[in-house]
Amino acid sequence: MKNVLITGAGRGIGLAIAKRLAQEENYRIFINYNNSKESALKLQEETRQNGHDAIAIKADVSDLEQVKNMFSSIEKNFKGIDILINNAGISRTSLFQDITYNEWQNIFNINVNGVFNTIHCALPYMLSNHCGRILNVSSIWGSNGASCESSYAATKGAIDSLTRSLALELAPSGILINAIAPGTVNTDMMKTYSEEDLKYVCDEIPLCRIAEPEEIAETVAFLVSEKNSYMTGQIVGVNGGFCV
C-alpha cells in the first residue's frame, strides 16, 4: 500500500486527482485541506464507502509547523509518504502596479513556500527508501507568462525551476519529480469570468474548449504511477494546444 498525499485536495484539480487515485487498489489517500473541510470530509466518506482508504487532514501548507505536524501524524501511523502531489495554490489577477507587498508575499507563501514545506518534510522517508514520486501542479503561465497575472506566473515559474533542479538532485536516489502545467481548467477560479470572457478564452485554444479537472487528473495518475519509470524533471503541458 502506497501513501499518497494531495495538498489542496478539497476542491478543483486537487479534488479530481484525489477521486481518480482513490480508484487505485494500492493507494491510501491523504486528502489535505485548509478551508474546504466539508468537501474533504465528503470525499473521505465516499472513498471509504467504495472500499478504499482515505484520510482527510487539515494543514495550511504555507505554515511549516502545520506541515510538520501533518507529516508527524502520518508517520506515526503510516510510516511516511510515498507519493506527494503539490496541488494547493491560489491565483490573483491584477495589474502589477496594483499588487501590494503583502499580496505578493501571500501568493509566494502558499504557492512556492508551501511546495518547499511539503517536499522538505516528505524527503527523509523517500530518501531512506530510495524511491518516491513528487508531482508539482504548475501552469502554462509559469513558462509563458501572463498579462495581469505576473505574481501567479512568477510562482509557477519558480515551481518549474525547482522541479527541474530537484529532479537532477534526487534522481540518484530513485525519486522522480515532475510538474504538470495545465492551461485553462474548469474550476472555481473560472467562476469570476463572464460567458463572453470564457468564449474568448476558448477561441484562443486550438481544441476550442477549456479542460475538465478529470482530464488533468488522468495525466497526474500516470506521472505518479509505476508505469512512469523514466520521466523526471519534466514540465508536462496539458493545455489543449494553447501553448506548444
Cell of 18: 484525489
Rounded Cα gap, residues 205 and 241, in angstroms: 6
8 A C-beta contact, residue 34 and residue 61: yes
Q: What is the DSSP string of 15-77?
A: HHHHHHHTTSTTEEEEEEESS-HHHHHHHHHHHHHTT-EEEEEE--TT-HHHHHHHHHHHHHH
Q: Is 11 helix (H, G, I), strand (E, B) or coil?
A: coil
The DSSP letter of residue 177 is E
- Counting every residue, how long is the chain? 244
The DSSP letter of residue 164 is H
8 A C-beta contact, residue 53 and residue 26: no
**H, E, C per residue of 85-135:** EECCCCCCCCCHHHCCHHHHHHHHHHHHHHHHHHHHHHHHHHHHHCCEEEE
State the Cα torsion 73-217-139-203 to the nearest 10°.
-150
Q: Does residue 152 carry a catalytic annotation? A: yes
Catalytic residue among 27, 152, 200, 230: 152
Q: Which residues are catalytic?
A: 152
